[in-house]
Structure 1
Protein backbone atom coordinates (compact mmCIF):
# COMPACT_ATOMS: atom_id res chain seq x y z
CA UNK A 1 0.00 0.00 0.00
CA UNK A 2 1.35 3.43 -0.94
CA UNK A 3 0.47 6.73 0.73
CA UNK A 4 0.52 10.42 -0.15
CA UNK A 5 -0.33 13.67 1.59
CA UNK A 6 -1.46 16.50 -0.67
CA UNK A 7 -0.88 19.80 1.08
CA UNK A 8 2.12 20.58 3.25
CA UNK A 9 0.85 23.26 5.57
CA UNK A 10 0.33 22.68 9.29
CA UNK A 11 -2.04 19.70 8.89
CA UNK A 12 -0.01 18.12 6.09
CA UNK A 13 3.17 18.37 8.13
CA UNK A 14 1.42 17.00 11.22
CA UNK A 15 0.32 13.96 9.22
CA UNK A 16 3.83 13.59 7.79
CA UNK A 17 5.21 13.48 11.34
CA UNK A 18 2.89 10.59 12.16
CA UNK A 19 4.25 8.63 9.20
CA UNK A 20 7.85 9.52 10.06
CA UNK A 21 7.43 8.42 13.70
CA UNK A 22 6.40 4.99 12.46
CA UNK A 23 8.97 4.66 9.66
CA UNK A 24 6.30 4.52 6.95
CA UNK A 25 7.10 5.99 3.53
CA UNK A 26 4.75 8.77 2.43
CA UNK A 27 4.86 11.07 -0.57
CA UNK A 28 4.11 14.73 0.05
CA UNK A 29 3.09 17.20 -2.62
CA UNK A 30 1.60 20.62 -3.19
CA UNK A 31 0.82 22.53 -6.36
CA UNK A 32 4.34 23.96 -6.09
CA UNK A 33 7.64 22.46 -7.20
CA UNK A 34 8.81 19.90 -4.62
CA UNK A 35 12.16 21.64 -4.30
CA UNK A 36 10.35 24.49 -2.53
CA UNK A 37 9.45 22.31 0.47
CA UNK A 38 12.14 19.61 0.28
CA UNK A 39 14.07 20.99 3.27
CA UNK A 40 10.92 21.03 5.43
CA UNK A 41 10.20 17.43 4.47
CA UNK A 42 13.78 16.37 5.21
CA UNK A 43 13.55 17.98 8.64
CA UNK A 44 10.62 15.71 9.49
CA UNK A 45 12.32 12.50 8.44
CA UNK A 46 13.76 10.38 5.61
CA UNK A 47 10.48 8.54 4.95
CA UNK A 48 8.77 11.82 3.96
CA UNK A 49 9.37 12.09 0.22
CA UNK A 50 8.66 15.33 -1.73
CA UNK A 51 7.06 14.70 -5.12
CA UNK A 52 5.28 16.52 -7.89
CA UNK A 53 1.50 16.47 -7.57
CA UNK A 54 1.12 14.31 -10.69
CA UNK A 55 3.35 11.65 -9.13
CA UNK A 56 2.00 11.80 -5.59
CA UNK A 57 -1.60 11.16 -6.65
CA UNK A 58 -0.55 7.75 -7.99
CA UNK A 59 -0.58 6.50 -4.37
CA UNK A 60 -3.24 4.03 -3.23
CA UNK A 61 -4.30 6.19 -0.27
CA UNK A 62 -4.28 9.98 -0.59
CA UNK A 63 -4.79 12.50 2.23
CA UNK A 64 -6.35 15.82 1.24
CA UNK A 65 -4.74 18.41 3.51
CA UNK A 66 -5.13 21.46 1.28
CA UNK A 67 -7.41 24.45 1.80
CA UNK A 68 -10.96 23.42 0.95
CA UNK A 69 -11.15 25.70 -2.08
CA UNK A 70 -8.04 24.02 -3.55
CA UNK A 71 -9.42 20.47 -3.68
CA UNK A 72 -10.75 20.78 -7.29
CA UNK A 73 -7.20 21.49 -8.46
CA UNK A 74 -6.03 18.27 -6.81
CA UNK A 75 -8.95 16.38 -8.35
CA UNK A 76 -7.90 17.54 -11.82
CA UNK A 77 -4.52 15.83 -11.40
CA UNK A 78 -6.13 12.53 -12.49
CA UNK A 79 -8.93 11.89 -15.00
CA UNK A 80 -10.34 9.10 -12.85
CA UNK A 81 -9.74 8.14 -9.23
CA UNK A 82 -11.08 4.60 -9.45
CA UNK A 83 -9.55 2.23 -6.91
CA UNK A 84 -8.06 4.99 -4.75
CA UNK A 85 -8.99 5.86 -1.18
CA UNK A 86 -9.21 9.57 -0.40
CA UNK A 87 -8.99 10.77 3.20
CA UNK A 88 -10.63 14.17 3.56
CA UNK A 89 -8.73 15.92 6.35
CA UNK A 90 -10.04 19.36 5.34
CA UNK A 91 -12.44 21.74 7.07
CA UNK A 92 -14.56 24.44 5.46
CA UNK A 93 -14.63 27.12 8.13
CA UNK A 94 -15.22 30.08 5.80
CA UNK A 95 -17.38 28.50 3.12
CA UNK A 96 -21.05 29.44 2.94
CA UNK A 97 -23.33 26.44 3.31
CA UNK A 98 -25.24 27.24 0.13
CA UNK A 99 -22.07 26.81 -1.96
CA UNK A 100 -22.07 23.09 -1.09
CA UNK A 101 -25.50 22.38 -2.59
CA UNK A 102 -26.83 21.32 0.79
CA UNK A 103 -24.41 18.39 1.02
CA UNK A 104 -22.10 17.47 3.89
CA UNK A 105 -18.70 18.92 2.99
CA UNK A 106 -17.13 15.48 2.40
CA UNK A 107 -20.01 14.35 0.18
CA UNK A 108 -19.43 17.52 -1.82
CA UNK A 109 -15.71 16.74 -2.06
CA UNK A 110 -16.42 13.16 -3.14
CA UNK A 111 -18.18 14.42 -6.28
CA UNK A 112 -14.88 15.95 -7.44
CA UNK A 113 -13.04 12.61 -7.27
CA UNK A 114 -14.94 10.20 -9.55
CA UNK A 115 -14.31 6.55 -8.73
CA UNK A 116 -12.60 7.21 -5.39
CA UNK A 117 -13.66 5.83 -2.04
CA UNK A 118 -13.78 8.78 0.33
CA UNK A 119 -13.31 8.75 4.09
CA UNK A 120 -13.64 11.79 6.35
CA UNK A 121 -10.93 11.65 8.98
CA UNK A 122 -8.03 13.28 10.83
CA UNK A 123 -9.76 16.66 10.53
CA UNK A 124 -11.15 17.21 14.01
CA UNK A 125 -7.83 17.82 15.78
CA UNK A 126 -5.86 21.06 15.71
CA UNK A 127 -2.58 20.70 13.81
CA UNK A 128 -0.41 21.04 16.89
CA UNK A 129 -2.29 18.23 18.62
CA UNK A 130 -2.32 16.02 15.52
CA UNK A 131 1.46 16.39 15.27
CA UNK A 132 2.04 14.99 18.76
CA UNK A 133 2.75 11.35 19.55
CA UNK A 134 -0.75 9.84 19.97
CA UNK A 135 0.40 7.45 22.71
CA UNK A 136 -0.44 9.35 25.88
CA UNK A 137 -1.95 8.85 29.33
CA UNK A 138 -1.96 5.08 29.12
CA UNK A 139 -3.89 5.12 25.88
CA UNK A 140 -4.06 6.45 22.33
CA UNK A 141 -5.48 9.63 20.83
CA UNK A 142 -8.77 9.10 19.01
CA UNK A 143 -9.32 9.91 15.34
CA UNK A 144 -12.88 9.87 14.04
CA UNK A 145 -13.68 8.29 10.66
CA UNK A 146 -16.83 8.37 8.56
CA UNK A 147 -17.56 7.07 5.09
CA UNK A 148 -20.30 5.78 2.84
CA UNK A 149 -17.95 2.91 1.94
CA UNK A 150 -17.44 0.46 4.82
CA UNK A 151 -14.41 -1.21 3.21
CA UNK A 152 -12.67 2.14 2.73
CA UNK A 153 -13.37 3.05 6.34
CA UNK A 154 -11.76 -0.21 7.45
CA UNK A 155 -8.71 0.48 5.26
CA UNK A 156 -8.25 3.91 6.85
CA UNK A 157 -8.91 2.53 10.34
CA UNK A 158 -6.07 0.04 9.81
CA UNK A 159 -3.77 2.88 8.71
CA UNK A 160 -4.78 4.95 11.76
CA UNK A 161 -3.80 2.00 13.96
CA UNK A 162 -0.43 1.78 12.20
CA UNK A 163 0.12 5.47 12.89
CA UNK A 164 -0.60 4.92 16.58
CA UNK A 165 -4.10 6.40 16.77
CA UNK A 166 -7.32 4.82 18.05
CA UNK A 167 -9.85 4.98 15.19
CA UNK A 168 -13.51 5.43 16.05
CA UNK A 169 -16.04 4.82 13.29
CA UNK A 170 -18.90 7.33 13.18
CA UNK A 171 -20.88 5.85 10.30
CA UNK A 172 -21.84 7.47 7.02
CA UNK A 173 -20.90 10.94 5.82
CA UNK A 174 -24.39 12.37 6.20
CA UNK A 175 -24.70 11.07 9.75
CA UNK A 176 -21.46 10.58 11.67
CA UNK A 177 -19.63 12.88 9.29
CA UNK A 178 -21.75 15.79 10.49
CA UNK A 179 -20.35 15.31 13.99
CA UNK A 180 -16.85 16.26 12.83
CA UNK A 181 -17.77 18.81 10.18
CA UNK A 182 -16.63 22.40 10.46
CA UNK A 183 -18.49 24.44 7.88
CA UNK A 184 -19.06 28.19 8.05
CA UNK A 185 -20.51 28.94 11.48
CA UNK A 186 -21.83 25.40 11.91
CA UNK A 187 -19.39 23.15 13.75
CA UNK A 188 -20.01 19.54 14.65
CA UNK A 189 -19.90 18.70 18.37
CA UNK A 190 -16.71 16.62 18.02
CA UNK A 191 -14.58 19.30 16.35
CA UNK A 192 -11.42 19.93 18.43
CA UNK A 193 -12.44 17.33 21.02
CA UNK A 194 -9.14 15.74 22.07
CA UNK A 195 -10.18 12.28 23.30
CA UNK A 196 -8.23 9.18 24.26
CA UNK A 197 -8.97 5.48 24.26
CA UNK A 198 -7.35 3.58 27.09
CA UNK A 199 -5.19 0.62 26.14
CA UNK A 200 -6.69 -2.64 27.52
Structure 2
Protein backbone atom coordinates (compact mmCIF):
# COMPACT_ATOMS: atom_id res chain seq x y z
CA UNK A 1 0.00 0.00 0.00
CA UNK A 2 1.18 3.54 -0.73
CA UNK A 3 1.52 5.85 2.27
CA UNK A 4 2.56 9.42 2.80
CA UNK A 5 4.88 9.53 5.79
CA UNK A 6 5.62 12.54 7.98
CA UNK A 7 8.45 13.05 10.45
CA UNK A 8 7.85 15.66 13.14
CA UNK A 9 11.21 16.77 14.48
CA UNK A 10 14.54 17.28 12.73
CA UNK A 11 16.93 16.54 15.59
CA UNK A 12 19.23 13.53 15.58
CA UNK A 13 16.45 10.95 15.75
CA UNK A 14 14.38 12.71 13.08
CA UNK A 15 17.40 12.96 10.80
CA UNK A 16 18.22 9.30 11.23
CA UNK A 17 14.66 8.29 10.40
CA UNK A 18 14.59 10.63 7.40
CA UNK A 19 17.83 9.18 6.05
CA UNK A 20 16.44 5.65 6.05
CA UNK A 21 12.89 6.46 4.97
CA UNK A 22 14.06 8.63 2.08
CA UNK A 23 15.48 5.48 0.48
CA UNK A 24 12.09 3.77 0.42
CA UNK A 25 9.30 4.17 -2.13
CA UNK A 26 7.13 6.28 0.18
CA UNK A 27 6.42 9.99 -0.13
CA UNK A 28 8.19 11.59 2.83
CA UNK A 29 7.67 14.95 4.58
CA UNK A 30 9.88 16.45 7.29
CA UNK A 31 8.87 19.29 9.57
CA UNK A 32 10.13 21.16 12.61
CA UNK A 33 9.26 24.21 14.72
CA UNK A 34 11.44 26.54 12.67
CA UNK A 35 9.63 25.97 9.37
CA UNK A 36 10.37 24.38 6.02
CA UNK A 37 13.00 26.94 4.99
CA UNK A 38 15.23 25.89 7.89
CA UNK A 39 15.32 22.34 6.48
CA UNK A 40 16.55 23.18 2.97
CA UNK A 41 20.17 22.09 3.44
CA UNK A 42 19.21 18.94 5.33
CA UNK A 43 16.71 17.88 2.68
CA UNK A 44 19.29 18.41 -0.08
CA UNK A 45 21.91 16.40 1.82
CA UNK A 46 19.58 13.45 2.39
CA UNK A 47 17.85 13.53 -1.00
CA UNK A 48 15.64 10.68 -2.12
CA UNK A 49 11.91 11.10 -1.56
CA UNK A 50 12.34 13.63 1.26
CA UNK A 51 10.63 17.03 1.13
CA UNK A 52 10.39 19.79 3.73
CA UNK A 53 6.93 20.97 4.77
CA UNK A 54 5.33 23.01 7.50
CA UNK A 55 3.63 21.27 10.42
CA UNK A 56 0.05 21.79 9.22
CA UNK A 57 0.79 20.36 5.78
CA UNK A 58 2.66 17.40 7.25
CA UNK A 59 -0.17 16.52 9.63
CA UNK A 60 -2.80 16.93 6.92
CA UNK A 61 -1.05 14.88 4.23
CA UNK A 62 0.61 12.10 6.20
CA UNK A 63 -1.02 8.75 6.82
CA UNK A 64 1.81 7.77 9.19
CA UNK A 65 3.54 10.30 11.45
CA UNK A 66 6.83 9.64 13.24
CA UNK A 67 7.06 11.59 16.51
CA UNK A 68 10.72 12.56 16.87
CA UNK A 69 10.27 15.76 18.84
CA UNK A 70 11.17 16.62 22.45
CA UNK A 71 8.86 15.27 25.15
CA UNK A 72 7.95 18.82 26.19
CA UNK A 73 6.39 19.51 22.78
CA UNK A 74 3.97 16.58 22.71
CA UNK A 75 1.04 18.36 24.33
CA UNK A 76 1.22 21.18 21.80
CA UNK A 77 1.30 18.68 18.96
CA UNK A 78 -1.72 16.90 20.43
CA UNK A 79 -3.65 20.16 20.27
CA UNK A 80 -2.63 20.69 16.64
CA UNK A 81 -3.81 17.19 15.77
CA UNK A 82 -7.11 17.34 17.65
CA UNK A 83 -9.22 17.79 14.47
CA UNK A 84 -7.78 14.64 12.88
CA UNK A 85 -8.76 11.01 13.30
CA UNK A 86 -7.13 7.68 12.58
CA UNK A 87 -3.53 8.71 11.87
CA UNK A 88 -0.90 6.10 12.67
CA UNK A 89 1.59 7.65 15.10
CA UNK A 90 5.02 6.09 15.53
CA UNK A 91 6.14 7.28 18.95
CA UNK A 92 9.95 7.48 19.01
CA UNK A 93 10.02 9.73 22.08
CA UNK A 94 11.37 9.15 25.58
CA UNK A 95 10.20 11.06 28.65
CA UNK A 96 13.46 12.96 29.14
CA UNK A 97 12.93 16.50 30.41
CA UNK A 98 16.53 17.31 31.37
CA UNK A 99 19.93 15.91 30.42
CA UNK A 100 21.98 17.81 33.01
CA UNK A 101 20.97 16.78 35.53
CA UNK A 102 19.33 13.77 33.91
CA UNK A 103 15.60 13.75 34.70
CA UNK A 104 12.59 11.83 33.45
CA UNK A 105 9.06 13.22 33.49
CA UNK A 106 6.67 11.64 35.97
CA UNK A 107 4.10 9.75 33.90
CA UNK A 108 2.12 8.28 36.76
CA UNK A 109 3.16 4.67 36.49
CA UNK A 110 2.14 4.33 32.85
CA UNK A 111 4.48 3.35 30.05
CA UNK A 112 5.49 6.22 27.78
CA UNK A 113 3.45 4.64 25.01
CA UNK A 114 0.32 4.59 27.15
CA UNK A 115 0.93 8.18 28.23
CA UNK A 116 1.38 9.44 24.68
CA UNK A 117 -1.60 7.40 23.45
CA UNK A 118 -3.73 9.19 26.03
CA UNK A 119 -2.57 12.54 24.62
CA UNK A 120 -3.70 11.45 21.13
CA UNK A 121 -6.93 9.51 21.83
CA UNK A 122 -8.19 9.66 18.24
CA UNK A 123 -4.99 8.35 16.64
CA UNK A 124 -3.45 4.86 16.40
CA UNK A 125 -0.21 4.82 18.35
CA UNK A 126 2.71 2.42 17.98
CA UNK A 127 5.78 2.74 20.20
CA UNK A 128 8.94 2.17 18.14
CA UNK A 129 12.40 3.53 17.36
CA UNK A 130 12.87 4.89 20.90
CA UNK A 131 15.31 2.31 22.24
CA UNK A 132 18.34 2.97 20.02
CA UNK A 133 20.65 5.92 20.54
CA UNK A 134 20.68 8.48 17.73
CA UNK A 135 24.16 7.47 16.58
CA UNK A 136 23.15 3.81 16.35
CA UNK A 137 19.88 4.62 14.60
CA UNK A 138 21.81 6.60 11.97
CA UNK A 139 23.94 3.58 11.03
CA UNK A 140 22.96 1.42 8.04
CA UNK A 141 20.22 -0.93 9.26
CA UNK A 142 21.78 -3.89 7.47
CA UNK A 143 25.32 -5.23 7.56
CA UNK A 144 27.15 -8.44 6.67
CA UNK A 145 25.84 -10.15 9.79
CA UNK A 146 22.17 -9.28 9.48
CA UNK A 147 19.60 -6.57 10.20
CA UNK A 148 19.44 -4.24 13.20
CA UNK A 149 16.39 -4.98 15.36
CA UNK A 150 13.63 -2.46 16.00
CA UNK A 151 11.23 -3.39 18.80
CA UNK A 152 7.68 -2.08 18.81
CA UNK A 153 4.52 -2.27 20.87
CA UNK A 154 0.94 -1.12 20.48
CA UNK A 155 -2.71 -1.90 21.04
CA UNK A 156 -3.75 -1.68 17.36
CA UNK A 157 -2.70 -4.83 15.50
CA UNK A 158 -3.17 -3.36 12.03
CA UNK A 159 -1.18 -0.23 12.89
CA UNK A 160 1.64 -2.37 14.25
CA UNK A 161 1.71 -4.32 11.00
CA UNK A 162 2.02 -1.08 9.01
CA UNK A 163 4.90 0.12 11.20
CA UNK A 164 6.62 -3.27 11.05
CA UNK A 165 6.38 -3.21 7.25
CA UNK A 166 7.83 0.31 7.19
CA UNK A 167 10.70 -0.76 9.44
CA UNK A 168 11.37 -3.73 7.18
CA UNK A 169 11.35 -1.52 4.07
CA UNK A 170 14.04 0.61 5.76
CA UNK A 171 16.19 -2.48 6.30
CA UNK A 172 15.42 -3.14 9.98
CA UNK A 173 14.16 -6.36 11.56
CA UNK A 174 10.97 -5.53 13.53
CA UNK A 175 9.99 -7.47 16.65
CA UNK A 176 6.54 -7.02 18.19
CA UNK A 177 6.69 -6.94 22.00
CA UNK A 178 2.91 -6.81 22.51
CA UNK A 179 0.69 -4.13 24.01
CA UNK A 180 1.66 -0.64 25.13
CA UNK A 181 1.17 -1.72 28.74
CA UNK A 182 3.21 -4.92 28.65
CA UNK A 183 5.62 -4.61 25.71
CA UNK A 184 6.02 -0.92 26.32
CA UNK A 185 7.58 -1.59 29.72
CA UNK A 186 10.50 -3.26 27.99
CA UNK A 187 11.10 -0.25 25.75
CA UNK A 188 11.12 2.60 28.23
CA UNK A 189 14.37 4.10 29.50
CA UNK A 190 16.12 1.92 32.06
CA UNK A 191 14.30 -1.24 31.02
CA UNK A 192 15.30 -4.37 29.11
CA UNK A 193 15.59 -3.03 25.54
CA UNK A 194 16.59 0.55 26.33
CA UNK A 195 19.92 1.32 24.66
CA UNK A 196 20.40 -2.28 23.55
CA UNK A 197 21.55 -2.94 19.99
CA UNK A 198 20.47 -6.31 18.60
CA UNK A 199 21.18 -7.82 15.19
CA UNK A 200 18.90 -10.44 13.65
CA UNK A 201 21.42 -12.73 12.03
CA UNK A 202 20.82 -13.60 8.39
CA UNK A 203 20.55 -17.31 7.68
Same fold (TM over 0.5): yes
What RMSD in Å do the two structures reach over aligned CA positions? 1.3
Matched residue SS, 1:37 = helix
Count of aligned residue pairs for this structure pair: 194
Please state if 1:191 is matched with 2:198: no
Please state if 1:96 is matched with 2:105: yes
**Which residue among 17, 21, 28 is the counterpart of 2:19?**
17
- Match of 2:140? 133
- Match of 1:175? 182
Matched residue SS, 2:44 = helix
1:80 CA displacement: 3.3
Structure 1 residue runs of 5 or longer lacking an equivalent are none
Residue pairs, 1:1-200, within 5 angstroms: 1-58=3-60, 59-93=62-96, 94-97=103-106, 100-182=107-189, 187-200=190-203
Matched residue SS, 1:57 = helix
TM-score normalised to structure 1 length: 0.92
Structure 1 range deviating more: 20-29 or 140-149: 20-29
Structure 2 residue runs of 5 or longer lacking an equivalent are 97-102
1:23 CA displacement: 4.9
Runs (4+) off by over 4 Å: none
Q: Distance in 2 between matches of 1:73 and 1:42?
A: 29
TM-score normalised to structure 2 length: 0.91
